[in-house]
Amino acid sequence: MKPGIRAAQPDNTPRTTAALSHVIGPASSGRSKCRGCGRPILRGDLRFGERAPNLFADGEVTLWFHPLCAAYKRPEPLLQAVAETCENVPGRENLERTARSSLAHRRLPRIDGAERSPSGQATCRHCRQPIQRATWRIRLVFYEEGRFSPGGFVHLDCRKAYFETSDILDQVLHFSSALSDGEREELRRACDTDPAGPALPQR
């Protein structure tokens, strides 16, 4: 496979933006950073490259992801790349299953992790009520034209109503690398209670 960074194409090269082809393969360097989680992609690790038109110059750009991060946040191009790759993609079944579930619920790709709200300033994107300080909230991002932008927050308790599924814990934890083990455990427990049902007795 060619090195990951490609020079901008000169003007006389025909541009076929309709046929951008994404790539999956081992990272040839340790210099790329995952667009999905912001962490480095280590040399030799499997990575997914989404090709997108360059908005600022001729040619295209490649957005690199860990394959699982892309399955969550960019399910469509990831599935396309997996389908077009002749070689056996490690973890293929899991990637496809994750991407299909992300595709089935249009808001799932927005999940960017969870945190305890550092202030009471933010409003929930679902119920429009303030998010109390120190309570759990889910971070959202929106993807547009090759970039993710911050998209606000939802209460953890609004997860089912907002995402239209309550099966979000794995994805939330995946993008919450800043949380300690203890916090992850608390989050897991908070997700055990069904926000739409009666409150479960305290353990």
The piece of 15-23, 49-57, 113-121, 125-133 that touches Zn ion (CB under 5 A) is 125-133
Nearest to 135 by CA among 171, 170, 193, 187: 187
Q: Which is nearer to Zn ion, 66 or 139 (CB)?
A: 66
In the shown chain, the binding pattern of residues 54 to 93 toward Zn ion, with x for contact by CB under 5 A and - for none, equals ------------x--x------------------------
Is 122 one of the binding residues for Zn ion (CB under 5 A)? no
**∠ CA(159), CA(73), CA(176), 5° rounding?**
60
* Minimum CB distance to Zn ion smaller for 124 or for 191: 124
DSSP β-ladder status, 147-155 and 46-53: unpaired
127: contact with Zn ion by CB under 5 A: yes
How many binding residues for Zn ion (CB under 5 A)? 10
Q: Which residue carries 């999905």 as its tokens?
A: 36
Q: What separation in angstroms does the CA of 71 have from each of 28, 96, 103, 180?
A: 21, 7, 9, 24
| Residue 38 C-beta: closest distance to Zn ion, Å | 7
Under the criterion CB under 5 A, does residue 113 sit at the interface with Zn ion?
A: no
Residues 6+ apart with CB under 8 A from 152: 122, 123, 125, 140
Q: Does 95 bind Zn ion (CB under 5 A)?
A: no
Beta bridge partners of 130: 123
Q: How many CB atoms lie within 10 A of CB 133?
A: 12
Q: Which is nearer to Zn ion, 18 or 196 (CB)?
A: 196
Q: Closest approach of Cβ 77 to Zn ion, in Å?
A: 15
Q: Is 124 in the site for Zn ion (CB under 5 A)?
A: yes
Fill in the per-residue mask, 139 to 168: x = in contact with Zn ion (CB under 5 A), - = not in contact.
Answer: ----------------x--x----------
Task: Work out the burial of residue 52: count CB atoms within 10 Å of its CB; fewer than 13 is exposed, 13-18 middle, 19 or more buried.
Answer: middle
Q: CB nearer to Zn ion: give 64 or 101.
A: 64
Please state at what angle helix 75-84 crosses helix 92-104, rounded to 10 degrees: 140
Q: Is 126 in the site for Zn ion (CB under 5 A)?
A: yes
Sites of contact with Zn ion (CB under 5 A): 34, 36-37, 66, 69, 124, 126-127, 155, 158
